[in-house]
Chain A
Amino acid sequence: ELKVEQNPLFLSMQEGKNYTIYCNYSTTSDRLYWYRQDPGKSLESLFVLLSNGAVKQEGRLMASLDTKARLSTLHITAAVHDLSATYFCAVPTSGTYKYIFGTGTRLKVLA
């Protein structure tokens, strides 16, 4: 059964600092997704990573995928308060393509 783990679960960081969130998954998958969720709100799609070595960047966020290591990273550069949210990675299972979500990383950026 596909398992998706994220770490850290909680992250409190100062504005202007850099940090990386990790997402590990247990079985082969051909793609990985990152979502952002503000408290009590819906999930917003951030990145779709489709192949080994894929790297995507949007503003202060950069995501990468290593399918051989079954690892994705979400790197935050020079964090700002507006990035405070919970970040989820999601991996589709082969065959049915149901999305299995990681545990989420709750990020708090302190001014």
Chain B
Amino acid sequence: DSGVTQTPKHLITATGQRVTLRCSPRSGDLSVYWYQQSLDQGLQFLIQYYNGEERAKGNILERFSAQQFPDLHSELNLSSLELGDSALYFCASSDHPVRLNTEAFFGQGTRLTVV
């Protein structure tokens, strides 16, 4: 158990709908990362937050948004869902990302299926 908690584990929804994925980082970790893993795209970085502020953005679609709350949990919102959004969505957390021996620990993921 990495200490990173993601809910829900599985989500099945229809095209055009909106869903929210939730992530609770490890105790003490300030940085949260979101990744999308699909069969043909590998692990794609979406977005990173540090202590409530957005720090880095990857190829995140405009239909997707995220935020990190004061209690450090994070939510990833996916809207106007398309079939191609079906994937495993991982959250990872780390302490200060600049610290030399820091590392990211991954949650169990949310498997999103859009039908």
Q: Could you tell me which A residues sit within 8 Å of B by CB distance?
A: 30-31, 33, 35, 40-45, 48, 50, 88, 90, 92-93, 96-104
Contact = CB atoms under 8 A, between A and B. Distances in A.
Nearest to A45: B103
B54 to A, nearest CB: 10
Interface residues of B, number: 27
A101 B98 CA distance: 18
A104 B58 contact: no
A96 B103 contact: no
B43 interface: yes
Nearest to B106: A43
A92 B42 contact: no
Given A48-B101, A50-B100, A88 B55 contact: no
B56 A93 contact: yes
A103 B109 CA distance: 18
Q: Is the interface of B mostly helix, strand, loop or mixed?
A: strand
B103 A33 contact: yes
Nearest first, the 7 A-B pairs at minimum CB distance are A97-B97, A96-B56, A101-B43, A98-B56, A43-B106, A42-B106, A42-B108
Interface in B80-115: 88, 90, 92, 97-98, 100-109, 111
A41 B35 CA distance: 14
A100 B45 contact: yes
Nearest to B91: A42
Contacts of B58: 98
B33 A41 contact: no
B100 A31 contact: yes
